[in-house]
Structure 1
Amino acid sequence: MLLPPCLPQQCGKDFRNSLKQPSPNYPYGYKTKKPRIVPAFTIQSMQKNTIVQPPPKCNIYEPQPARPTMFRKSYKRGEFPVTIEFTLSGKRLSWKVPIEKLDFHHYLPMFFDGLAEGNYPYSFIVEEGINDLVKKGSYKVLACVPQIVIPIKRALETKRPAVICHALKCIQMIVTGCDKVGEALVPYYRQILPTLNLFKDRNRNIGAGIDHTSSRGENVADLIEDTLQILERYGGPDAFINIKYMIPTYESCVLN
């Protein structure tokens, strides 16, 4: 290695800096090793030329993978007395038996179990089926409330926006269409509301643009706000304090 000549007018600091320059006789020049990534809270993190590995992300908003439901298995076996009928005005469900004669304790929880399905035709059959059951057998829904809480919780825990919107619409449907169902859901807020607390303020910031999902009823945050207001209106005097306990940022639409 050729060292630069030491001149009288050259200070010691400049001489030391010149030693760090690569030698012209070395073909590869001056190279530094890349620091190694080591796990945190280990003895390796105290070594030289190392970088501590950052903590992993929690991915709390990450959608969960789709899992087969009992609704899909039962539908493939032909256990549901419904078919999709195509008409001039669109498609609708055609029931093979009168809805009033169905066993709601069996079919209603099965339809709510299908809320976790986000693909056609399952999503269409579930929403239309629940709508028909609520319209023609609303007096039978109240007794089935404890059985539909767990399917609703599983659907919301998928954290898929399409599935959450689908489940919220069905919750609004049974609360507004059946007597005293809103009051019967109050003891089960601890199972239903935690996921709503996560996505309550998840609005997309698109600046001066127009979010068309709001007009189509596909905005998760807007649907959650509407659902909470419906639960408060139909949940009786204890609804607001229980919603406020699970979602501290919620403001009452009745008291205000």
Structure 2
Amino acid sequence: MTVPPVLPPCVPINCGKDFRQSLKKPSPNYPHGQKARKPRLVPAFTIQAMQKNTRVIPPKKSGLFDLKPLKPSMFRRSYSRGEFPVTIEFTNFGKRLSWKVPIEKLDFHHYLPMFFDGMAEAAYPYSFIVEQGINDLVSKGSYKILPVVPQLIIPIKSALATKRPSVICHVLKCIQMIVTGSDRVGEALVPYYRQILPVLNLFKNKNVNMGEGIDHSTSRGENVGDLIEDTLQILERYGGPDAFINIKYMIPTYESCVLN
């Protein structure tokens, strides 16, 4: 009769210690051995971001101030086909527009929205023709502008949506022309503040901090922040009693120039 071999006594403390030490040793079949693994890329604001050996992928930029591409406008196509009764005339005093027909006889419901559609054009000669053309239409046919105001909102909104500083300055100058040069146009624009003012709220504080330097864009009327402030003050003065509360609703940082 064979006696089974006697196993050495197992001490619980030693057995547990040896077992824990064996867990810390890497497996011989593990491909990476002692090399540290690369962190795993995980999206931000998730539970995975709290796990070990992970690296959070930064969220994408909102692109709020990204410039939108410029598309050929109806104004450019119409001008290229020669549908506008206007040409550029060079005089001793500079450039001006020469109208082939009296401005008072023009159909403002057709031509004024077309000029406003060209405000997104930043290249010469379209920018010059648009700004000077609107100035001529306002100065000689101001009484015809009020019925056309609803047709101008979509071109204004589309031009501001490009978020290009040069285009925004161009649009603001044209808005100032029709508001100051025509009666009751400022009041007619109040219901459309929700379409016009959101972009102005983004660029209201868009000023260049030059320290002790001189910002020449201010004297040329090309500083976006200053031009927006001037435009809002004009809209408040000419917009009637409801203008300020509607401007304040869309641009909370605006302070009244009339009440103060």
TM-score interval for Structure 1 and Structure 2 normalised by the shorter chain: 0.7 to 0.9
Query: Which residue of structure 2 aligns with residue 232 of structure 1?
Result: 236
Change (3 A) 1:49 1:127: same
104-113 vs 34-43, greater mean Cα deviation: 34-43
Change (3 A) 1:31 1:217: farther
2:47 & 2:150 partners in 1: Cα distance? 53
2:47 & 2:256 partners in 1: Cα distance? 53
1:62 corresponds to 2:57: no
1:138 corresponds to 2:142: yes
2:42 & 2:72 partners in 1: Cα distance? 39
1:91 & 1:38 partners in 2: Cα distance? 60
Q: How far did residue 35 of structure 1 move?
A: 3.3
Q: How far did residue 220 of structure 1 move?
A: 0.3
Q: How far did residue 205 of structure 1 move?
A: 1.6
Q: How far did residue 45 of structure 1 move?
A: 5.6
Partner AA of 2:222 in structure 1: E
SS of alignment partner, residue 251 of structure 1: coil
The alignment-based identity, stated in percent, is 79
1:234 & 1:41 partners in 2: Cα distance? 48
- Where do 1:9-48 residues align within 5 Å? 34-40=38-44
**Pairing partner for 2:122 from 118, 121, 146:** 118
Number of equivalenced pairs: 227
**Pairing partner for 1:80 from 84, 87, 90:** 84
1:109 corresponds to 2:110: no
2:92 & 2:40 partners in 1: Cα distance? 67
Partner AA of 2:240 in structure 1: G
Q: Could you list the per-position Cα deviations for residues 207-228 of structure 1 after superposition, in whole angstroms to 9, with x for gaps in the alignment? A: 2222111111100000000000
1:142 & 1:195 partners in 2: Cα distance? 24
Query: Which residue of structure 1 aligns with residue 188 of structure 2?
Result: 184
**Pairing partner for 1:203 from 204, 207, 215:** 207
- Where do 1:90-105 residues align within 5 Å? 90-105=94-109
Root mean square deviation of aligned Cα:
1.8
Unpaired runs of at least 5, structure 1: 1-29
SS of alignment partner, residue 213 of structure 1: helix
1:92 & 1:209 partners in 2: Cα distance? 34
1:186 & 1:234 partners in 2: Cα distance? 10
Change (3 A) 1:43 1:226: closer
Partner AA of 2:235 in structure 1: L
TM-score (normalizing by structure 1):
0.84
**Pairing partner for 2:163 from 155, 159, 169:** 159
Partner AA of 1:83 in structure 2: T
1:89 corresponds to 2:93: yes
Partner AA of 1:92 in structure 2: R
Partner AA of 2:186 in structure 1: G
4+ long deviations beyond 4 Å:
30-34, 40-48
205-214 vs 142-151, greater mean Cα deviation: 205-214
Query: Which residue of structure 1 aligns with residue 57 of structure 2?
Result: 53
TM-score (normalizing by structure 2):
0.83
